Amino acid sequence: MKEFDIVVYGATGYTGRLVAEYLAREYAGDATLTWAMAGRNQEKLKSVRDEIGAPQSTPLVAADAADPSSLSSMTARTKCVVTTVGPYQLYGEPLVAACAQAGTDYVDLCGEPNWMRAMIDKYQAAAEKSGARIVFSCGFDSIPFDLGVWNTQEEARKEFGEPCIEVKGRVRAMKGKFSGGTAASLKETMKAAFKDPGVIELLKSPFALTPGFQGASQPSMSKPALDAETGIWLAPFVMAPINTKNVHRSNFLMGCAYGKDFRYCEMMMTGKGDKGEAAAKAVASDNSLMSDDAPKPGEGPTKEERESGYYDILFIGETSRGEKIRTHCKGDKDPGYGSTSKMIAESAITLVRDAPDTKGGVWTPAAAMGAPLLQRLEAHAGLSFARE
């Protein structure tokens, strides 16, 4: 019998603190949910526990990525570990290894496809054997997109009796900042690509996370384009390279439920006419996440900035017969911090409480949790998935 349902690993960091604060607030009256805060420094953990208003009785667990025995001890005590300690390609593997060995569920915020593929290749068999469910990308990358496509396909099946052969994801509106962790992960991925040309091939392939499966040729998303259907200019979306890989992995894990020739394209809407075109070109040339001025891990927006953020993503699906469907995913709070901290917390709770039939292995959110996660996000985390 495990001591805890969930351990928040990295609880003294910026995002980890938000996850712990969310659990303390949203589940204050739920005596059946047992959770703990983990990190390297006990005094910092005590300080954060008090600052976020968590009960004094909240357990504190000492754990350090540099000390594998401490990770093994932590994973032995809990059903699921939430980790916000990135970049994952620098700090993540020891915890994945410990969870895969112990049969402990794992959720993270990873958007580093080269590392994710390496972990799939290395730990899929061990996780299957132990029963550990390893679920990457449980934040803004990639839950709104992964579940948004999943929901679109569910609605298409209800209406048309078949899934869409193509889905277009369109970020209609977004207010908020990308996290320092996202910037750091991007920089580490670029360093890895510079050292190893094989990483470049993984980054370029929409099917980098589907070992042994190569689907249909995919639409281009790398340049500004005028959408002939709507007259709206589209710009490359910075998260698309990871989101598309996760969407295709979900399809792969579900036995090609969207079809073996499924196509997915994800871009950002910038408006109509000359202004829309200028905005699309400006977005395409923006390298701010790679600059020295990019947010650093541990840095983030003020509470007011987090609270005033939001996002709105449109999905346009089309079946093989040309029938069309439109859905959306909308979220309150800024995407990179406020919404992400809620999504990863609810992912962990869903795994522990609502996904008994999901077997061990390395998963995506949609393939591992589907409907139960969508329902929990709508009930608790300020997301909505709906037809248009």
User: Which CATH number covers residue 123?
Assistant: 3.40.50.720
179/319 same-domain check? yes
Tell me the helix, strand and coil percentages in the chain, rounded to 5: 45, 20, 35
Is residue 225 included in any domain, yes or no?
Answer: yes
| Opening angle at CA 82, ends 311 and 1, nearest 5 | 140
> What tens-digit pLDDT sequence spans the chain (388 residues)?
899 999 999 999 999 999 999 999 999 989 999 999 999 999 999 999 999 999 999 999 999 999 999 999 999 999 999 999 989 999 999 999 999 999 999 999 999 999 999 999 999 999 999 999 999 999 999 999 999 999 999 999 999 999 999 999 999 999 987 667 777 777 888 888 788 888 788 889 999 999 999 999 999 999 999 998 789 999 999 999 999 999 999 999 999 999 999 999 999 999 999 999 999 999 998 877 666 777 676 677 888 888 999 999 999 999 999 999 999 999 999 998 999 999 999 999 999 999 999 999 999 999 999 999 999 999 999 999 999 9
pLDDT digits (tens, 9 = 90+) for 178-223: 667 777 777 888 888 788 888 788 889 999 999 999 999 999 999 9
CA dist 247 and 366 (Å) reads: 8
298/267 same-domain check? yes
Q: Two tokens at 115?
A: 């590392």
Do residues 333 and 339 lie in contact, with contact meaning Cβ atoms separated by under 8 Å?
yes
Is residue 304 included in any domain, yes or no?
Answer: yes
**Strand 232-236 versus strand 35-39 pairing type:** unpaired
Do residues 298 and 14 lie in contact, with contact meaning Cβ atoms separated by under 8 Å?
yes
Whole-model pTM: value is 0.96
90/165 same-domain check? no
218/84 same-domain check? no
Is residue 383 included in any domain, yes or no?
Answer: no
pLDDT digits (tens, 9 = 90+) for 16-34: 999 999 999 999 989 999 9
56/159 same-domain check? no
268/198 same-domain check? yes
Q: What's the residue count for the chain? A: 388
Half-sphere exposure of 73 (CA within 13 A, CB side): 12
Is residue 288 included in any domain, yes or no?
Answer: yes
Report H helices in 254-329. Answer: 273-284, 303-307
- List the domain range (segments joined by +) for residue 242: 143-334
Is residue 114 included in any domain, yes or no?
Answer: yes
CA dist 153 and 317 (Å) reads: 8
73/93 same-domain check? yes
Is residue 381 included in any domain, yes or no?
Answer: no
Total structural domains in the chain?
Answer: 2
76/128 same-domain check? yes
**Final residue of a domain: which of 334, 355, 383?**
334
211/323 same-domain check? yes
For residue 290, the 8-state DSSP code is G
Is residue 242 included in any domain, yes or no?
Answer: yes
Do residues 174 and 312 lie in contact, with contact meaning Cβ atoms separated by under 8 Å?
yes
168/251 same-domain check? yes
199/295 same-domain check? yes
214/69 same-domain check? no
Is residue 380 included in any domain, yes or no?
Answer: no
**Structure-token match 């609810």, residue found:** 346
CA dist 154 and 158 (Å) reads: 6
